[in-house]
Structure 1
Amino acid sequence: MTATPDQERPDTLRYRALRDLVERMQDTAPGKLEITKEGIVHDMASPRGPHELTAARVSRRLEKVMPDGLLAHTGTPDVEDVREGVMRHPDIMVIAEADMEVEGSFDPRALIAAVEIVSRSNPDNDWMGKTRDYPLLGIPLYLIFDPRTGVGAVLSEIHSTPDGPRYATRKNFVYGEDITIGEWTISTRELPRYR
Structure 2
Amino acid sequence: MSIDPVAFARLRENADQLSQVPSVGAVEIANGQIVLTVSPVRRHERAVLRIARQLNDQLRTTHPGFVAHAGAYLEDAGLGRLRRPDLMVFPEGALDLQTPGLLPHEVLLVVEIVSQANPENDYENKVHDYAAMGIPHYLLVDPRDGTGIVHSLPNYTSREKFVFGDAVSVGPWTIDTSALLTYGS
**Equivalent residue number for residue 40 of structure 1:** 34
Cα 1:32–1:10 shift into 2, 3 Å? closer
**Equivalent residue number for residue 139 of structure 2:** 143
Of 40, 47, 55 in structure 1, the residue corresponding to residue 48 of structure 2 is 55
CA distance in 1, matches of 2:86, 2:68: 10
Please say if 1:155 is aligned against 2:155. Answer: no
Which segment drifts farther, 12-21 or 148-157? Answer: 12-21
Of 18, 21, 24 in structure 2, the residue corresponding to residue 30 of structure 1 is 24
Provide runs of 4+ in structure 1 moved above 6 Å.
Answer: none
* Structure 1 residues 110-149: Cα deviation after superposition (integer angstroms, max 9, x where no partner): 1010001111111111111110000111211000011111
**Counterpart contact for 2:87–2:110, Cα < 8 Å:** yes
SS of match in other structure, 2:145: coil
Q: How many equivalent pairs are there?
A: 178
Per-residue deviation at 1:37?
2.6
Q: Which amino acid in 2 is paired with 1:183?
A: P
CA distance in 2, matches of 1:188, 1:82: 34
Please say if 1:192 is aligned against 2:185. Answer: no
**Counterpart contact for 2:148–2:163, Cα < 8 Å:** yes
1:12-31 matches, within 5 Å, as 12-28=5-21, 30-31=24-25
**Equivalent residue number for residue 85 of structure 2:** 90
* Structure 1 residues 73-118: Cα deviation after superposition (integer angstroms, max 9, x where no partner): 1123x11111211111111111122333311211121101000111
**Counterpart contact for 2:166–2:177, Cα < 8 Å:** yes
Please say if 1:179 is aligned against 2:172. Answer: no
CA distance in 1, matches of 2:56, 2:46: 15
CA distance in 1, matches of 2:74, 2:156: 19
- Structure 1 gaps of 5+ residues are 1-8, 159-165
- The structure with the largest alpha-carbon Rg is 1
For normalisation by structure 2, the TM-score amounts to 0.90
**Equivalent residue number for residue 134 of structure 1:** 130
CA distance in 2, matches of 1:99, 1:191: 29
State the percentage of identical aligned residues.
37
- Structure 2 gaps of 5+ residues are none
**Equivalent residue number for residue 125 of structure 1:** 121
* Structure 1 residues 146-192: Cα deviation after superposition (integer angstroms, max 9, x where no partner): 1111100100022xxxxxxx311100100000000111112000202
For normalisation by structure 1, the TM-score amounts to 0.85
Please say if 1:11 is aligned against 2:7. Answer: no
**Counterpart contact for 2:67–2:89, Cα < 8 Å:** yes
**Counterpart contact for 2:3–2:79, Cα < 8 Å:** no
CA distance in 2, matches of 1:74, 1:25: 19
